[in-house]
């Protein structure tokens, strides 16, 4: 299949036309990748089963992993669910459009392969002007997982999407790099108290400021025994080609691990925050930035970059799980094959 690529960042006039053409493809039951404030999504009409199947095929995604549905307004969200607790109204007000997904009781309007047979549906209002415009033009709810091949890091640029999905999807709206860089927070809102199923762009601390107590799905804890309630969290994810080890502790300790591996003849790549990167020596280093927001925004690009630098092993420093650090560490633990403490 020929993948049409529009540069939606160019001139205003072209941009409107590009978004309109992309919306037409969505309405016609085709797949289109588009930027959101978190990562690029691969969209299709959520009410069209055959269109949704094309997403699973293009990504090589397991069928039992439900998709997030994207809408432009709170009203459209309400049209997909049977009931909404009061705290969701508060969260809609405080954080949308933005990086948060609400899991609510489904009224069955979405195709059955969107929800993978669950009686709940995940819905979000993305905070990106191109995404919002596309959703308005398409005028259908748009199911969209991250626009990567299943198992690969989520795409934070159109080039990432192109590398994974060129020839496998109908269109790609190129809107440059995304902002947050990690996916939305997935929040189970089917209970009296909201439960974080996947940490993401909106932190637990931010949620608690608005609604008081927020719980964390016990399945998110490190031990791999428990089955997480968010089906997507059980798969190995975000994987670069070389093995990735997380290393906790000082930069001296990280240097010891690097030296030991280099002595064995391994080509060692390291990614870490700026301070640590300056303090260590390795075959190839990636500076993830000086603060955790920047680390979150650059993480997936870094994981992909190692594939081009032919390293045998990637080491990454472990970060504190405060604020956005919780989402960063969640993704790193999923990508890592080892955690040295
Ligand atoms: O930021 C994001 O959320 C991005 C952009 C494109 O919007 N999308 C994204 O989609 O990350 P995906 O498919 O890669 O991840 C969706 C996650 C999975 O972990 C899935 O299991 C969970 O959301 N999920 C979706 N619907 C659910 C439901 N009804 N109940 C529990 N978990 C659900
Ligand atoms: Mg994904």
On the question of pLDDT at 5 being above 90, the answer is yes
Q: Which one of 34, 145, 179 would you pick to mutate in the ligand 1 pocket, going by the greatest count of ligand atoms within 8 A of its CB?
A: 145
What is the pLDDT, as a whole number, of residue 293? 97
What's the rounded mean pLDDT across residues 102-127?
97
pLDDT at 314 over 60: yes
How much distance in Å is there from the Cα of 122 to the middle of ligand 1?
Answer: 7
Crossing angle (nearest 10°) for helices 325-335 and 292-306: 20
CA angle 69, 75, 81 (to 5 degrees): 55
66, 113 in Cβ contact below 8 A? Answer: no
Cα 228 to averaged position of ligand 2 atoms, centre (Å): 15
| Mean pLDDT on 10-16 | 68
pLDDT tens for residues 29-83?
Answer: 999 999 999 999 999 999 999 999 999 999 999 888 999 999 999 999 999 999 9
* Whole-number percent of the chain with pLDDT over 70: 94
Annotated binding site: 38, 61, 65, 70, 124, 144, 146, 154, 184, 198, 238
The model's confidence at residue 108, banded by pLDDT at 50, 70 and 90, is very high
Task: Name the percent of the chain lying above pLDDT 90.
Answer: 87
Residue with CA nearest ligand 1 atom 32:
230
- Please state at what angle helix 12-27 crosses helix 129-138, rounded to 10 degrees: 50
In ligand 1, the atom with minimum distance to the C-alpha of 198 is 19
Which ligand has the minimum distance to the alpha carbon of residue 152? Answer: 2
Mean pLDDT of all residues in 127-148: 97
- Rounded mean pLDDT of the chain? 93
pLDDT of residue 221: 74
Give the per-residue pLDDT at 230: 62
- Give the strand order in the sheet containing 313-317: 284-287, 268-272, 313-317, 244-247, 338-340
Among residues 82, 68, 179, which one has the least CA distance to residue 122? 68
Span between the terminal Cα atoms of the chain, in Å = 47
Q: How confident is the model at residue 232 (pLDDT cuts 50, 70, 90)?
A: low
Quote the crossing angle between the two packed helices 86-95 and 204-211, to the nearest 10°.
120
Ligand 2 centroid – CA 259 distance (Å): 34
- Ligand 1 center–CA 10 separation, angstroms: 30
Residue numbers in the known binding site for ATP are 61, 65, 144, 146, 154, 198, 238
Ligand 1 atom with the smallest distance to the CA of 121 is 29
Distance 223 CA to ligand 1 centre (A): 21
pLDDT digits (tens, 9 = 90+) for 162-174: 999 999 999 999 9
Tell me the binding residues for L-threonine: 38, 70, 124, 184
Q: Is the pLDDT of residue 282 over 70?
A: yes
Q: Which residues make Cβ contacts (< 8 Å) with residue 273, sequence separation at least 6?
A: 287, 288, 289, 290, 291, 295, 317, 319
* Centre of ligand 2 from the C-alpha of residue 215, in Å: 22
pLDDT of residue 224: 46
Going by the DSSP 8-state scheme, the letter that residue 146 receives in this structure is B
Distance of CA 188 to the CA centre of its chain: 17
Lowest mean pLDDT among 223-227, 276-280, 281-285: 223-227
In short, whether 145's Cβ falls inside 6 Å of ligand 1 is yes
Q: Is 21 exposed, middle or buried (0-12, 13-18, 19+ CB in 10 A)?
A: middle
Of the listed ligands, the closest to the CA of 237 is 2
Residue 235 in this model has a pLDDT that exceeds 80: no
Query: What's the confidence (pLDDT) of residue 143?
Result: 98
Q: Tell me how long the chain is.
A: 341
Residue 68, ligand 1, Cβ within 6 A: yes
Q: What is the pLDDT of residues 199-209, one digit of tens each?
A: 999 999 999 99
């Amino acid at each position: 299949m020929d993948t049409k690529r529009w540069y939606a960042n160019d001139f205003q006039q072209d941009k409107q036309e590009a978004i309109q053409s992309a919306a037409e493809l969505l309405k016609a039951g085709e797949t289109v990748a588009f930027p959101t404030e978190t990562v690029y999504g691969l969209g299709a009409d959520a009410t069209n089963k055959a269109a949704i199947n094309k997403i699973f095929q293009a990504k090589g995604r397991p069928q039992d992993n439900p998709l997030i549905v994207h809408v432009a307004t709170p009203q459209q969200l309400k049209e997909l669910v049977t009931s909404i607790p009061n705290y969701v109204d508060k969260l809609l007000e405080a954080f949308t459009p933005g990086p948060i997904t609400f899991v609510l009781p489904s009224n069955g309007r979405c195709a059955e392969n969107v929800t993978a047979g669950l009686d709940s549906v995940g819905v979000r209002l993305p905070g990106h002007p191109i995404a919002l415009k596309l959703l308005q033009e398409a005028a259908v709810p748009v199911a969209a997982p991250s626009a990567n091949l299943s198992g690969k890091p989520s795409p934070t640029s159109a080039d990432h999407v192109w590398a994974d999905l060129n020839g496998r999807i109908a269109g790609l709206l190129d809107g440059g790099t995304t902002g947050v860089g990690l996916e939305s927070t997935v929040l189970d809102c089917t209970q009296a108290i909201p439960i974080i199923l996947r940490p993401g762009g909106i932190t637990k601390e931010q949620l608690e400021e608005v609604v008081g107590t927020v719980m964390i799905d016990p399945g998110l804890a490190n031990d791999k025994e428990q089955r997480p309630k968010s089906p997507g969290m059980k798969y190995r994810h975000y994987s670069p080609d070389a093995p990735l080890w997380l290393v906790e502790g000082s930069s001296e300790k990280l240097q010891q691990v690097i030296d030991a591996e280099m002595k064995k003849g391994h080509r060692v790549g390291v990614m870490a925050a700026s301070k640590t990167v300056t303090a260590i020596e390795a075959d190839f280093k990636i500076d993830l930035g000086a603060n955790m927001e920047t680390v979150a925004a650059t993480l997936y690009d870094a994981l992909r970059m190692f594939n081009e630098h032919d390293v045998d092993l990637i080491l990454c420093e472990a970060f504190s799980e405060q604020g956005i650090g919780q989402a960063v560490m969640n993704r790193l633990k999923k990508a890592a094959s080892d955690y040295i403490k």
